[in-house]
Amino acid sequence: MVLDTSIIAGGWLAAGLTIFLFSFLYKDNPFFKIAEHLYLGAGMGWLFQVSVNSVWIPKIWEPVSKGELLVIIPSVMGLLLLTQFIPKISWLSRYGFTFMMGYGSGLAIPAGLSTDFMSQIEGTIRPFSKLASMTPFDIFSSLLVAGGAICVLFYFFFSVEHKGHLKKVSNIGIYFLMIYFGAAFGNTVMARFSLLYGRFDDLFTFSGGSYFYATHIILAAMVVYFVLHGLFAGKKEASEEEAA
């Protein structure tokens, strides 16, 4: 398979940047720093180009040039946000911020009440409405959800001192929290490995002959760099790194 030059070049670039970032795992080095700074800039650049093409041009520039002047008001509010950087007139940015905060808060309150509050109470007690058709184990599970939720809530109850029997209730709460955290931990392991798998899979692609062994060559170059660096920088620094 013969690939386009631009794709091969892309493969080399991607493999190189990936390996540069991974090299931090061995130790901090200039290549990592370069890749890291590039990432900063590229991330901002991407956000910038998407904002320009998806929002600024179609939502501000085009309406204004067509004579719809109403969009100037929010644009000005948006621009006022930037006065933050000029201490003397930074108060102007409040006009933008307060607008955003007011809108966000006004939406958040009823939605929070219905979704995370009332619906959760309802969800906890609803299973009991089907009591007749439940197996004993289902009933046990539903009781566990309800009781567990109460205990956890009590763990976070700050208005009374947790002593005696109350202490026991909040202790049970902690165990429910721990099971949840355990589940989260287990799942996160899978999530992180998946991401690593994704990068390795890409590197594997770039290591193929059609990419002229980009991964192998860059990896070897990095190893050579570290070996040389270790030799010239003296033993002292190396032993320090070991301890880390």
Partner 1 sequence: MKETLQKFFKIDRRWIFLLLAVTLVVPIVKPIGLPNKSISQATTRVYESLEKLPAGSFLLLSLDYDPSTRPELHPMAMALVRHAFSRNLRVGVVTYIAGSTGLIEELFAKVGKEYNKKDGTDYVILPYQPNILAVMTQMSSDLYGIYSKDRNGTDIAGMPVLKGVKTYKDMSLVVCVTGTAILDYWVAYVGDKYSVPVAGGVTAISQPGYGPYLQTNQLKGLIGGMKGAAEYESLIKQPGKGTSGIDALNLAHLLVLILILTSNIILLFVKYF
Partner 2 sequence: MKLIKKQIPLAIVFVTGVLTLISYYVPHKVSVDYIETLNKWENIVVAFAFLLGLISLFFSHYNKIARKGDGWGYSIFVFIGFLAIIIPAYVSGGKQMVEGVLTPLGWSYKYIYTALSGTMFAVLAFYIVSTAYRSFRIKSPQAFVLFVAAFILILGKVPLGQIIWDSALGWTGQSVSAVIEWIMQVPAVAGKRGIMIGISIGAIVTSLKIIFGIEKQYMGKD
Partner 3 sequence: MTKHKVALTLFLTLFAAGGLFAAKPAPAVKKAPAPPAAVIGGLTAVDMPYDVGNAAMLKWAVNPADTADTFYVVYVSSLATGGWLEADRFAASAKTGKDIELPFWAWDGSSLEHAVKIELNNTYGDSLPDAAFQFKVAAEKNKQAIAESLPVSVTPVGNWFRLDRLNNLVLLIALIVIFFWAVSHAKRKGLFIRRIAGLDAIDEAIGRATEMGKPIFYVPGIGSMSSISTIASAFILGEVAKKVAQYDSQIKVPHYDPVVMTVCKEVVKQSYMEAGRPDSYREDINHFVSADQFSYAASVDGMISREKPAACFYMGYFMAESLLLAEVGATSGAIQIAGTDVEHQLPFFFTACDYTLIGEELYAAGAYLSGEPMLKSALKVQDFGKLFVMVSIAIGMICVSVGAKFGWDSFVPAILNLFQNF
If one asks whether residue 177 binds partner 1 (CB under 8 A), the answer comes out as no
**Contact pattern from residue 68 through residue 87 relative to partner 2, giving x for each residue in contact according to CB under 8 A and a dash for the rest:** ---x-xxx-xxx-xx-xx--
The rounded distance, in Å, linking the Cα atoms of 40 and 23 is 18
Helix (H) or strand (E) holding 155: helix 136-155
Q: How far is the CB of 81 from partner 1 (least distance, A)?
A: 13
Interaction of residue 160 with partner 3, rule CB under 8 A:
yes
- By beta-carbon proximity to partner 1, the closer residue of 7 and 166 is 7
Shortest distance, CB of residue 21 to partner 2, whole angstroms?
A: 4
User: Binding partner 3 by CB under 8 A: which of 124, 172, 199, 202?
Assistant: 124
Query: Is residue 167 part of the contact set for partner 3 (CB under 8 A)?
Result: no
What 8-state DSSP symbol labels residue 86? Answer: S
Tell me, what amino acid is at 79?
Answer: L
Is residue 230 classed exposed, middle or buried when 0-12, 13-18 and 19+ CB atoms within 10 A define those classes? middle
Say which residue the tokens 């009590």 belong to.
154
Give the one entry of partner 3, partner 2, partner 1, none that residue 130 binds, where binding means its C-beta sits below a cut-off of 5 to 8 angstroms depending on kind.
partner 3
The span of 81-89, 109-117, 129-137, 160-168 binding partner 1 (CB under 8 A) equals: 109-117
Is residue 39 within the footprint of partner 3 (CB under 8 A)? Answer: yes
- For residue 238, the partner it binds in partner 2, partner 1, partner 3, none, with Cβ less than 5 to 8 A by kind, is none
Size of the site for partner 1 (CB under 8 A): 44
As a whole number of angstroms, the distance between CA 111 and CA 101 comes to 15
Q: Which residue has the tokens 């992180």?
A: 192
Task: Report the alpha-carbon distance of residue 124 to residue 136 in Å, rounded.
Answer: 17
End-to-end CA distance of the chain: 45
* Distance from C-alpha of 166 to C-alpha of 151, rounded to nearest angstrom: 10
Distance CA 181, CA 128 (A): 27
Positions in 72-111 near partner 3 (CB under 8 A): 84, 101, 104, 109-110
DSSP 54: I
The footprint of partner 3 (CB under 8 A) covers 24, 28, 36-37, 39-40, 43-44, 84, 101, 104, 109-110, 113-115, 117-122, 124-126, 128-132, 146, 149-150, 153-154, 156-162, 177, 180-182, 184-185, 188, 244
